[in-house]
Amino acid sequence: MELERVVIGLVTAALLPYSVPAVRPRRLTALALTAGYALYTLAPGLLSWAALLLLPLCLGASWLLGRLAKADANMQGSPRLFRPAGTARFIFVPLGLAVLLALASGLLYGGPLLTRATGELILDDSTALVVSGLLVATFVGGEVVTHTLHPFYAELKKAEAEEMEPLRGAGTAIGWLERSMTYAFAVAGQPEAVAVVVGIKALARFPELKSNQKRFAEYFLIGSMSSIGFALLVAAVVRVLLGERALG
């Protein structure tokens, strides 16, 4: 399973920074994210000659993708989940303090046990596969769906020119949630639960679908099916690599 971990993990490391809008324009941050995830992926054999060769190759691929992404005006937009800055402060400061307190408690009362458990978690191939699949399904899937829908967007925008503007970045956030939930249900062996995700999204769009806007209905179906289909495909691949049936 180590081979699967390395292949999927390094692909994730190269693609992930350019599938997260907040990271994409920051080249050093993007390369740091690639390097960090690549090191996690290669952790079981980090000192081998293969790892020493693959790490710079992964960084090179990330750098080339950065140049390509810079010229791509059709990539998914940022959901701006933590704007203004005060919102981020009120979320991350309490969360950071809680994490620091938990780590301090663990180190003081069970340092060796915590260290061993953390090492086992990092080196576990099954965990690495599931995490990589989740990141690909959620974030890389956003780019797949965005570019799939792009040829139809201009025509739909023209038809809805006089309607209320949508919340900026809301579609990106909804897509992330949709694909992550779909992936989680499928990897857990409960693909039928994806019907809940589809039902929630269809319910939210029911007024537009009911008003017989054929263009919007077609756009909605293409986006939903490509988004959910991509997440299911990634989940099926991960399940097969874990030795399970593709979709339970």
Identity at 65, one-letter amino acid code: L
- Nearest CA to 43 out of 16, 7, 6 is that of 6
More confident residue, 34 or 220: 34
State mean pLDDT over 65-90: 70
The reported pLDDT for the residue numbered 168 is: 62
- The structural domains of the chain, with segments of one domain joined by +, span 1-72
Upstream peptide bond of 84 is cis (omega within 30 degrees of 0):
yes
The reported pLDDT for the residue numbered 9 is: 93
Cα–Cα dist 1/130, whole Å: 12
Structure tokens at 100: 């620091």
The reported pLDDT for the residue numbered 169 is: 67
Lowest-pLDDT range of 24-33, 76-85, 107-116 = 76-85
Place of tokens 């999927």: 8
- Asked if pLDDT for residue 122 goes beyond 80, the answer is yes
The reported pLDDT for the residue numbered 30 is: 92
Lowest-pLDDT range of 40-44, 128-132, 180-184, 211-215 = 211-215
Best-predicted range by mean pLDDT among 66-75, 118-127, 213-222?
118-127
The reported pLDDT for the residue numbered 82 is: 53
Cα–Cα dist 236/245, whole Å: 8
Cα–Cα dist 145/172, whole Å: 10
**Global pTM value:** 0.72
207-241 pLDDT, tens per residue? 666 665 666 777 777 888 888 889 999 999 899 88
144-202 pLDDT, tens per residue? 888 777 766 666 666 555 454 565 666 777 888 889 999 999 998 888 888 888 888 77
The reported pLDDT for the residue numbered 88 is: 63
State mean pLDDT over 61-69: 88
- How does the average pLDDT of the chain come out, rounded? 81
State mean pLDDT over 117-140: 89
- Asked if pLDDT for residue 113 goes beyond 90, the answer is no
